[in-house]
A and B are shown apart, each in its own frame.
Chain A
């Protein structure tokens, strides 16, 4: 059916850290990389580090990174044989995958048909039920009227979830606790779904209280072989956005890993999946406490995930390399039994946001940057000094990934690295991440998807350190003195100067 096709040049239809991450693998594989960029990203690292770069439009995503014609045109001009979509943007757009194939390009991912099927949550539920994959109790199809909503509520009970059929990544979900809120939430969910996904269809599902979000990485070649690459524990979330992910999951033992992994592979095979994907499950923590290890299919992400590096860290693999080999028509190079997780990996997502002002996205220019390093550390970011963090794109600045021989070692390493990371010019969630790592619940691995939001106040309080060390107070005084001095100088001369201040405070050195 499919035969081997050499990929000599790859276009990356994305930006930021993931574009850079893919370019790095291309370089290692001897594949020429082609970046596409919006006018706002001219100076970005993917543009600078790729072999070729093409401008595809103005800053707003709708006029650049989401513009299929412009991207295909860049592919044609560059002579690339394949397109990697990364995550986000067009990665789960079936029409884009089809358009690539129609233009004679290899789309690094599944077929457009599979993307559409799994992207439609209602269709996906139906298919998974047929494949004997456990799904959450809920409505069989779309609900579009108040009457249907009321009937669904009667069947499912409260709390329930209204979910956009075209949603994903936590977008287009409303949780309803109270029948009185039901209609308002329903209307808002429909309007949001229409705007965000171009499809107002929503359905209702039972809302599991305090579940854990555990996902399995799957990989399938073009010849019907599918395997799983273990799990990722992604329960630490805020407003359905993942914050910290780890593998192995503290909840899972070998027996359950095998059982869930088998289900994930079964799901893959049922839909004729190919390339990298992720099957997300919800684990019923209340049932687990009773000794019943119940889990349900949540959704499938038909692309590379943001958090894929933790899987790479414990398996010693390069998932992008695997993706490209499979896309070029090669067979999976190993079997399920060849894979064994080694050690423990954690990822912390560094967001440009202000946890102390309701997590508002922060903007600014990165003035200076100290990145963590040392053993077992991987920093996936496209940050550079002078980079403008704008409102146009996702606020995720970087992924800090560490591996340790044990979970405790990995936690200590991550804490060490968060202390080393200094980004000035843009507020970040680093103190918040550290505060989460220091909670008792994280320490002992007992947390769930509601944990962060339910404990927000305590975590935020701890993020503002309790340690009122004298030297920190002195540092504050010094910083204040320098800032004051600088603003006085700016007023006096119209330009910053440091010599006088240095003379005053570092007399021995100036």
Chain B
């Protein structure tokens, strides 16, 4: 199976093809044309691996809850995105999925202390929408784009979790 690995997406894009296959009963990886013996031992399923590539030993911890693959190797963070050839094929067929914007979501668990806007309010980028209190700090949640408030999903005093919708802007 071929894998396409992208590094540091928002910075410089580097994509490399990695092919993992079996040769004479052992796993090998073909990375950028070079063949290496592979040995990946699962220390903790889904999150921690001891990887031997050739004789190079790597300890890999995968951060939880990421759609991308955030790996910690030697204390450094590697933000990667990996697609295998099937996933990549499906993506190329379907084209880029459009992500519906406009919903401001809570980025942390907290309590809504103040709501500055109501349905129909015209807001501009950077304008404060509400104050979310988390860990005893008041955080201003601001509009990330211009638009009109279509719906306010919370009221003052409401406890919210991460990813709860707060305000919909059109």
Interface residues of A (CB under 8 A from B): 171, 188, 191-192, 195-196, 239, 356-358, 360-361, 364, 367-368, 370, 391, 415, 418-427, 430-431, 433-434, 461, 463-465, 467-468, 470-484, 486, 496, 498, 501-502, 504-509
Contact = CB atoms under 8 A, between A and B. Distances in A.
B74 interface: yes
B105 interface: no
Nearest to A507: B25
20 contacts: A192-B136, A356-B70, A420-B75, A421-B75, A422-B72, A423-B61, A424-B48, A431-B76, A464-B79, A470-B32, A471-B51, A471-B53, A476-B78, A480-B84, A482-B40, A482-B49, A505-B20, A506-B27, A506-B39, A506-B40
Given A431-B75, A479-B60, A505-B40, A486 B46 contact: yes
Contacts of A188: 138
Contact of A195 (B36, B38, B136): B136
A483 B77 contact: no
Interface string B73-111: 111111110101000000000000000000000011100
A424 B62 contact: yes
Nearest to B8: A464
A210 to B, nearest CB: 23
Nearest to B139: A358
Given A474-B53, A475-B60, A477-B18, A507 B71 contact: no
Contacts of B54: 471
7 closest A-B pairs by beta carbon, nearest first, are A431-B77, A480-B82, A477-B3, A424-B47, A465-B76, A477-B18, A419-B75
Contact of A479 (B8, B36, B64, B71): B71
A367 to B, nearest CB: 5
Given A368-B44, A479-B62, A505-B20, A357 B136 contact: no
A481 B22 CA distance: 14
A422 B76 contact: no
Contacts of B16: 470, 473
A479 B31 contact: no
Interface secondary structure of B, over-half rule: strand
Contacts of B70: 356, 427
Most buried by A among B11, B26, B75: B75
B5 A426 contact: no
B104 to A, nearest CB: 14
A367 B136 contact: no
A171 B49 contact: no
Nearest to A437: B75
Contacts of B79: 356, 464
Contact of B80 (A357, A426, A434, A476): A476
Given A475-B53, A475-B73, A506-B27, A357 B44 contact: no
B59 A422 contact: yes
B84 A481 contact: yes
B63 A427 contact: yes
Given A431-B77, A482-B45, A509-B39, 5 more contacts: A431-B72, A474-B18, A478-B20, A479-B40, A508-B39
Nearest to A195: B136
B53 A361 contact: no
B32 to A, nearest CB: 6
A196 B39 CA distance: 53
A487 to B, nearest CB: 8
B110 to A, nearest CB: 9
B138 A463 contact: no
Nearest to A359: B108
B62 A508 contact: no
Contacts of B135: 361
Nearest to A394: B135
B107 A425 contact: no
Contacts of A473: 5, 7, 16, 18, 31, 80
A479 B75 contact: no
Nearest to A357: B107
A505 B38 contact: yes
A364 B65 contact: yes
A481 B75 CA distance: 22
A368 B48 contact: yes
Contacts of A192: 136-138
B3 to A, nearest CB: 4
B90 to A, nearest CB: 13
Most buried by B among A356, A476, A479, A501: A476
B3 A475 contact: no
Contacts of B38: 474, 478, 505
A481 B20 contact: yes
B69 interface: yes
Nearest to B47: A424
B42 A367 contact: no
Contacts of A425: 47, 64
